[in-house]
Structure 1
Amino acid sequence: MPNTVQEAKRYLDNAKEILREKAKKEDGFYQDKKYVKLAGHAAYTGVLVAFDGLLGAKGRGRKSIEWYLQEVGKMDKKALTSLHAAYETLHLSMGYDGNQSADISAAGLKLAESLINWVEIRTAAA
């Protein structure tokens, strides 16, 4: 299990590096949408990798955000709210829309980090 948390942190570090090195921040906005999208996708994938280590296999079919939300909702309502916010911020706003606001990206990365840490604490206690 700790391997999935380490892998998740690696994805998050990659997202931060993409924004820092390639997206070119000026006056609170990233100048290159492509790199915002890549960073959002990397950070969101990191969150899912962490949760995969905690939740395990689904059974049948591909996992969806609805499945993750349902499983996390059984464990912790606060984590459920954070996961939903991370989905909307990292996956939709950054990953799909390429929202260039540095504040949005910072909030998304902070959510990702807190969720990965939440999973790390849960797996350590198990």
Structure 2
Amino acid sequence: MTKKHTVPALPPAEEAARYLENAREILSNKAGKEDGLYKDVKYVKMASGTAYSAALLILDEYLRQKEGLKFTKPSSIEDYTARIRKYDKKLLKLLAAVYDELHIVGYYHGTRSVDTIQTGLKNVKQMLTYI
């Protein structure tokens, strides 16, 4: 029988920041840049997914703080947007931007655009200020 090494759970803001830092490390260490484009789409997709996960952690904590005991984890982007819309329009705009930049363009389409991905990462960092 082996012992499982468990890491103490970090507060949500620290965990989201850790995800965001991991995404930056993937991009800087593995994706490679040339002429404003990433060289390896595989790592762009990986980093985009990681950064988008950070955004979802932030949104979950934000909703948890706003809704208290009534909080349940949203099950779709539509659920996130409907619930965030009730509380903060600026955060809603950030969510829409991050969804497009990181989830759709970065993760699904695998853009090579450094500007697009960097804008998405900056938007996630701005979302961190909400929790």
Q: Same fold (TM over 0.5)?
A: yes
Q: Of residues 12, 34, 38 in structure 1, which corresponds to 2:20?
A: 12
Structure 2 CA distance for aligned equivalents of residues 78 and 100 of structure 1: 27
Q: Of residues 36, 41, 65 in structure 1, which corresponds to 2:44?
A: 36
Percentage of identical aligned residues: 42
Query: Which protein is bigger by CA-based radius of gyration?
Result: 2
Provide the residue aligned with 1:91 in structure 2: 103
**Residue correspondences, number:** 116
Q: Secondary structure at the residue paired with 2:86?
A: helix
| Stretches (4+) displaced over 4 A | none
Runs of 5+ unmatched residues, structure 1 = 121-126
Q: Secondary structure at the residue paired with 1:22?
A: helix
Provide the residue aligned with 2:72 in structure 1: 58
Structure 2 CA distance for aligned equivalents of residues 98 and 15 of structure 1: 14
TM-score when scaled to structure 1?
0.87
Provide the residue aligned with 1:124 in structure 2: none
Structure 2 CA distance for aligned equivalents of residues 66 and 116 of structure 1: 21
- Give the alignment's Cα RMSD to 1 decimal: 1.4
Runs of 5+ unmatched residues, structure 2 = 1-9, 65-70
| Structure with more helix by fraction | 1
Provide the residue aligned with 1:109 in structure 2: 121
